């Protein structure tokens, strides 16, 4: 109801964010950490931060997300959290026996200036980390960046702490590293499906398949079956090449692996839609020297067929999007390929390292309004929609208030999604994911046509 008062004008606004279009860095770091098999994420800060990170992930995945916290109180806030973290290591390894603890910092521990490298070294010296066990860490100050930055920082920390150079002075295996950005486990599974169909040996990390969407089998698994084993991340330093799947979420880890272990990398956009999936498969094909099997060609052909059958429902439809840059760019490209008219694209994540605006304008021309950066919020997005109402818009669960206020159909894509099921299981990546996405778009638009049709135009066959 309050949203009714959002104006369609956008007067200049400073030092005020209303309904941020992002979440905090540790949420992304924790999600990445879950992509290591037998890993316990650990939030170095107050219990409240950890409760928020865990609940955001638990609600999005409808699965219990485990994590430790350094449980800062007034003492730690003033004198630093070293004693808390050292005690936490003892407790975690004694009680929960993970192979790895992945520590992320929080706003508070960053402001205090806790030196995590020094604390972890001290923990090893004092034998608080048992032999064979590992602690890694990522700095994730949430007064800058977003969940995407946090994810990227933790993926890079995996390389920093775990990846090893080849033992024999440079001989590489023919394995390809696949480092995905912050995408759903269903999309990671789809990317692995493509690599497997092409018979490519790969290492994917982080890999949250089978962790945040693990099956219910009547028993509680503190560490579900999925996730990339630490041995494989160690071996990634011997791989022939890396493909970073996403500029902001994946490229920093790939770059570091190149610097540290001389594994060359290529960056591709997340394979959403036909064009981005074509480019991903072509990159895989060239790097791995593999051919594209008929099974993949069939998947592509089916998607092209479905688009050509139904393009009259998507052509010319006005769409607006809010979300994360690595998803938005290929999604915009797919919608443009469907003949839709993209009019607004907004992200609350800083895109300095990505030619985001240029890339989107290259895809859909100069008329699209693009807003990117930490101050860009849902309120601003609503103002834009008020000024120019789209036929359909894309965003996370929080967009449902805008959808209700303006009576615009919403397609839930991104993070977080608290009020619908499917994102963990049904991909939007790859050709099969493109088919899912197309079906969702069409069903949403066609439901709206049926709802709004008068008696004479209400058709049985569409």
Q: Toward ligand SF4, which CB reaches closer, 107 or 442?
A: 107
Binding to ligand SF4 in span 140-159, by CB under 6 A: 142
Least distance CB 419 / ligand SF4 (angstroms):
21
Decide if 380 contacts 402 (C-beta within 8 A). no
State yes or no: is 49 an active-site residue: no
In eight-state DSSP terms, residue 328 is H
**Span interacting with ligand SF4, options 44-52, 112-120, 206-214, 356-364, rule CB under 6 A:** 44-52
φ and ψ of 118, to 5 deg: -65, -40
The sign one gets for the Cα dihedral 330, 334, 337, 341 is negative
Residues numbered 57 to 116 that lie near ligand SF4 (CB under 6 A) are: 106-107
Which one of the spans 45-53, 117-125, 150-158, 341-349 is the region binding ligand SF4 (CB under 6 A)? 45-53
Of the pair 149, 175, the CB lying nearest ligand SF4 is at 149
| Coil, helix or strand at residue 162 | helix
Nearest distance in Å: CB 129, ligand SF4: 24
Q: How many residues bind ligand SF4 (CB under 6 A)?
A: 8
Residue from the set 6, 22, 26, 344 that interacts with ligand SF4 by CB under 6 A: 26
* Minimum CB–partner distance for residue 24 and ligand SF4 (Å): 3
- Closest to ligand SF4 by CB, 45 vs 185, is 45
Task: Build a one-symbol-per-residue string for 346-375: x at contacts with ligand SF4 by CB under 6 A, - elsewhere.
Answer: ------------------------------
| Residue 52 interacts with ligand SF4 (CB under 6 A): yes or no | yes
How near is the Cβ of 187 to ligand SF4 at its closest, in Å? 25
Q: Which is nearer to ligand SF4, 54 or 128 (CB)?
A: 54
Of 374, 415, 423, 421, the closest CA to residue 31 belongs to 415
Name the token pair of 31.
């999600």
Cβ distance to ligand SF4 smaller for residue 52 or 418: 52
Cross-strand partners of 135: 101
Q: Which residue lies nearer to ligand SF4 by CB, 85 or 245?
A: 85
Query: How many whole angstroms from its chain centre is CA 444?
Result: 24
Structural contact between residues 283 and 241, judged by C-beta atoms closer than 8 angstroms: no
Binding residue for ligand SF4, selected from 24, 100, 203, 429, defined by CB under 6 A: 24
Of residues 50, 101, 103, 107, which has the active-site annotation? 107
Query: Does residue 205 contact residue 228 with C-beta atoms inside 8 Å?
Result: yes
* Tokens representing residue 305 in the block: 């067929």
Taking CB under 6 A as the criterion, which residues in 233-292 touch ligand SF4?
none
Residue 437 to residue 391: CA distance in whole angstroms: 16
Indicate the length of the chain as a whole number.
462
Q: Is 111 a catalytic residue?
A: yes
The pair of structure tokens assigned to 177 is 């590293």
Exposed / middle / buried, residue 358 (Cβ in 10 Å: 0-12, 13-18, 19+): exposed
**Running DSSP on this structure, what letter comes out for residue 431?**
H
- The answer to whether 53 and 106 have CB atoms below 8 angstroms apart is no
List residues near ligand SF4 by CB under 6 A: 24, 26, 45, 49, 52, 106-107, 142
Residues marked as catalytic:
107, 111
């Amino acid at each position: 109801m309050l949203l009714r008062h959002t104006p369609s004008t956008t007067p200049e606004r400073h030092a005020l964010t209303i309904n941020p279009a992002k979440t905090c860095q540790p949420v992304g770091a924790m999600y990445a950490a879950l992509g290591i098999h037998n890993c316990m994420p650990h939030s170095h800060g107050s219990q409240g931060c950890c409760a928020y990170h865990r609940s955001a992930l638990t609600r999005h995945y409808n699965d219990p997300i485990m994590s430790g916290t350094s449980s800062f109180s007034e003492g730690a806030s003033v004198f630093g959290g070293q004693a808390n973290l050292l005690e936490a290591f003892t407790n975690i390894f004694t009680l929960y026996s993970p192979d790895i603890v992945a520590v992320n910092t929080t706003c508070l521990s960053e402001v205090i200036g806790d030196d995590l490298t020094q604390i972890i070294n001290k923990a090893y010296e004092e034998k608080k980390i048992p032999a064979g066990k590992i602690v890694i860490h990522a700095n994730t100050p949430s007064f800058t960046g977003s969940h995407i930055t946090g994810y990227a920082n933790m993926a890079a920390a995996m390389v920093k702490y775990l990846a090893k150079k080849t033992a024999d002075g440079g001989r590489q295996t023919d394995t390809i590293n696949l480092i995905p950005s912050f995408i759903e486990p269903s999309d990671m599974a789809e990317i692995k499906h493509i690599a497997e169909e092409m018979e490519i040996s790969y290492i994917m990390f982080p890999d949250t398949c089978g962790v945040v969407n693990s099956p219910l089998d009547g028993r509680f698994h503190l560490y579900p079956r999925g996730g990339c084993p630490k041995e494989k991340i160690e071996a990634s330093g011997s791989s022939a090449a890396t493909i970073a799947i996403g500029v902001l979420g994946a490229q920093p880890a790939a770059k570091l692996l190149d610097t540290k272990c001389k594994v060359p990398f290529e960056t591709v956009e997340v394979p959403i839609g036909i064009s981005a999936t074509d480019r991903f498969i072509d990159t895989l094909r060239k790097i791995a020297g593999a051919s594209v099997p008929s099974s993949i060609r069939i998947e592509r052909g089916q998607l092209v067929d479905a688009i050509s059958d139904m393009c009259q429902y998507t052509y010319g439809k006005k769409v607006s999007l809010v979300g994360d840059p690595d998803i938005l760019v290929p999604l915009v490209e797919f919608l443009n390929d469907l003949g839709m008219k993209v009019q607004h694209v907004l992200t609350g994540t800083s895109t300095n390292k990505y030619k985001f605006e240029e890339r989107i304008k290259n895809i859909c021309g100069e008329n699209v309004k693009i807003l990117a950066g930490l101050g860009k919020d849902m309120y601003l997005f609503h103002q834009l929609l008020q000024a120019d109402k789209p036929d359909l818009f894309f965003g996370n669960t929080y967009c449902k208030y805008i959808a209700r206020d303006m009576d615009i159909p919403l397609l839930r894509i991104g993070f977080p999604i608290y009020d619908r099921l499917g994102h963990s299981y049904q991909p939007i990546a790859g050709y099969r994911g493109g088919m899912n996405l197309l079906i969702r778009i069409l069903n949403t638009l066609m439901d709206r046509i049926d709802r709004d049709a008068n008696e004479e135009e209400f058709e049985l066959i569409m």
